[in-house]
Amino acid sequence: MNINQRYALQTKFMEILRQLSRPYSYWSTPNQVIYEHQNLRLRRFPNQDLNAKRPVLILPPQAGHHANIADYSDEQSLVRVFHRYGFDVYVTEWLSAQRQHKHLGIDDHIRLTDEAIEEIRRRTGLYKIHLVGECQGGWQAAVYTSLFPEKIASLVVAAAPIDLEAVSSPMNEYARMPMSFFRYMAAAGGGIMKGRYILTGFKNMQPEEHYINKYKRLWNLLEEDDQEGLDRFIRFENWYEYTQDLPGRFYLEIVHDIFKNNGLTKPGYLKLDGKSVDLSKIDCPLVIMAGKKDHITPPEQAFALKHLVKTPAHDIIEILTEGGHIGTLMGNEALKTNWTQVNEMLQMVI
């Protein structure tokens, strides 16, 4: 490689990094906002081949990233997998928290989830829906189903931390820091937990990957003139670097009640609007999905849900993907195989 070629590669390298310093949100599949309240938007993704019995509501994670993990690209879209099986699909888009949202807690997010489900029921005239929760949205879906079992036909929980004591993980280690540290972080944002702080925490769990290896991959892709690989790299980094803020109270309750005190495993520990959370109230068909390589939510933490619910064993499906955390939620292989299995199961639910 001569000096001019190297200079051109360096210029392109810096152009891509500048582009990624201004990440943006997007949706890959046509949709419309049908309900909005506080930090919630409910989006409907119309299906031209609608033939399934019941609608599907996807609860993406609220972990500092955008909800379009459920509709990441034309080729990697959980929304489109459900479309192929004839489902009417809805997604909760949790907006970046503003100052007026800083006092919203877990109870408010369950209330807003209920508002979204009531809107779907009103529009469709159907009493029960399929509820699909990803990561944080997974334990949220489980909590909701335990409180309103009469509204849920089936529950799908993917890569969701349920029993934090089932096995240790970097998230457990992080949560062992004193609550004063987490309160300071929220206070530094004026009562808002900044998404960029959360992102930095995730990166620091795999520092070599995020601070060294990804830049090596980018340089190699440029040297190989691999435009398809560059497009994939840019799309993922745009999604990963786009951050959203969380209500401070919500974040602190998650740290204290879910991660520090393993509250989901203790019936009655969580009380939301005067109602006790007890996962044994869940008795609908259940799918639990986890990733073999997931360092955020190890499979043991996710699969523990089967021991906490009342759903009969023959109505519980466990799926272990070959991927990690993000791969389980939107990886090509998981979407083609594992999420296809989920759809086939939901089609059989009355």
303 neighbors 318 (Cβ within 8 angstroms): yes
Q: How far apart are CA 116 and CA 110, in angstroms?
A: 10
Looking at every residue in the chain, the average pLDDT score rounds to: 94
Give the pLDDT mean for 143-170.
96
Bridge-based pairing state of the strands 56-59 and 89-94: parallel
Quote the pLDDT of residue 1.
66
Q: What is the DSSP letter of 29?
A: S
Q: How far apart are CA 109 and CA 272, in angstroms?
A: 10
- Say if residue 64's pLDDT is above 80: no
Quote the pLDDT of residue 334.
96
- Say if residue 98's pLDDT is above 80: yes
Quote the pLDDT of residue 210.
86
Of 109-113, 204-208, 236-240, highest mean pLDDT: 109-113
Cα angle value 156/130/106 (rounded, 5°): 70
Q: How far apart are CA 33 and CA 47, in angstroms?
A: 15
Q: How far apart are CA 57 and CA 63, in angstroms?
A: 18
Of the candidates 50, 197, 176, 37, the residue with the CA atom closest to the CA atom of residue 117: 37
- Say if residue 350's pLDDT is above 70: no
Q: How far apart are CA 49 and CA 137, in angstroms?
A: 27
Global pTM value: 0.93
- Residue 88 φ/ψ region, left for φ over 0, alpha for ψ in the -120 to 50 degree band, beta for the rest: beta
Give the pLDDT mean for 112-132.
97
Indicate the pLDDT class of residue 7, thresholds 50, 70 and 90.
confident
Q: Could you tell me what percent of the chain has a pLDDT over 70?
A: 99
Domains and CATH numbers, the chain: 27-217+239-348 (3.40.50.1820)
Contacts 24+ apart (CB under 8 A), 264-268: 264/139, 264/142, 264/143, 264/162, 264/163, 264/308, 265/162, 265/163, 265/165, 265/304, 265/308
**Which residue is it, tokens 């786009």?**
242
- b/e sequence 151-166, b meaning 16+ C-beta within 10 Å: bbbbbbbbbbbbbbeb
Give the pLDDT mean for 323-345.
94
Q: How far apart are CA 164 and CA 34, in angstroms?
A: 35
> Which residues sit opposite 316 in a β-bridge?
286
Quote the pLDDT of residue 126.
94
Quote the pLDDT of residue 6.
79
Q: How far apart are CA 189 and CA 179, in angstroms?
A: 16
- Say if residue 174's pLDDT is above 90: no
Indicate the pLDDT class of residue 348, thresholds 50, 70 and 90.
confident
List phi, psi (to 5°) of 40: -115, 135
Q: How far apart are the first and last CA of the chain?
A: 63
Alpha-carbon separation of residue 83 from 56, 65, 181, 247, 324 (angstroms): 10, 24, 44, 32, 24
Q: How far apart are CA 38 and CA 31, in angstroms?
A: 20
86 neighbors 50 (Cβ within 8 angstroms): yes
**Structure-token pair, residue 80:** 């489109």
Indicate the pLDDT class of residue 82, thresholds 50, 70 and 90.
very high
- Say if residue 53's pLDDT is above 90: no
- Say if residue 163's pLDDT is above 80: yes
H-only helix segments in 125-261: 136-147, 170-175, 179-188, 195-205, 207-208, 214-223, 227-241, 248-253
- Say if residue 52's pLDDT is above 80: yes
pLDDT digits (tens, 9 = 90+) for 271-324: 998 899 999 999 999 999 999 999 999 999 999 999 999 999 999 999 999 999
pLDDT digits (tens, 9 = 90+) for 178-227: 999 999 999 999 999 999 988 888 888 888 988 999 999 999 999 999 99
